[in-house]
Amino acid sequence: MQVPSNPEKQVHLRDLGLINYQEAWDLQESLLQSIISKKLNSNSDSSIPETENYLLLCQHPHVFTLGKSGSEDNLLANFIQLQAKNAEFVKTNRGGDITYHGPGQMVGYPILNLDYFVKGIREYVDKLEETIILTLNDYGIKAERLNGATGVWIDTQVPGKTRKICAIGVRVSRGVSMHGFAFNVNTDLAYFHMINPCGFTDKAVTSLSKELGRVIDEDEVKARYVKHFEIVFNASLDTRLH
């Protein structure tokens, strides 16, 4: 396979701030379809046609999202309880089971032509996990992967203490990614009591704030994460708003 001549791939960074989940989903779908269209209609001699790539960072108002392989039984709250918590429930087309999004959580949606970055979906998920692991390492936290589960975890070898700090669920269509990760920074963890997070009933959820015992500067976390994303994906992020 011929690779692009520029070894450092350009990725447009968009900071969407606090945005409704459906609005962010619609934006992802629009960007994904534009990349697919360019891939399918390219006249380039290269086997990897030049396309745009994006990293969307945001937060959402309270919402529980269910992946296409998940079970509604893992939502432990009823409609009235969701209304009382000002929370929505949305079925999505990503992989994985149920998770929660809310203020204080850093959500990332890479919309990437994966031909530029990885050899397959498993490598892509590994790289997403690595960006979070390296960010947590900056704060003195040893995080790792857990066999049989996606996401980023702490104390995977300590029975009864294993806890998830970042959920990952992606969708890939024609080699283009969407959806992504949800990294608990200053997240209100009480909302996770309303679900079996990612379908697990025997593992806890944590946040960077809980682990360190203080409120975290979210802009600092974002800056550290962007640095690690560039390194792990060998990308150059254009931080201008688009």
Q: Cite the active site residues.
A: 198
**DSSP secondary-structure letter at 64?**
E
Give the span between the Cα atoms of 26 and 4, in whole angstroms.
29
Give CA–CA dist 159/156, Å, rounded.
Answer: 8
| Beta-bridge partner residues of 177 | 172
Looking up tokens 């697919």, which residue turns up? 36
3-state DSSP assignment of residue 103: coil
Q: Tokens standing for 125?
A: 């998920």
What count of other Cβ atoms lies within 10 Å of the Cβ of residue 224?
A: 18
| DSSP secondary structure letters along 107-126 | EEEEE-BGGGT-SSHHHHHH
Amino acid identity for residue 99 in this structure: T
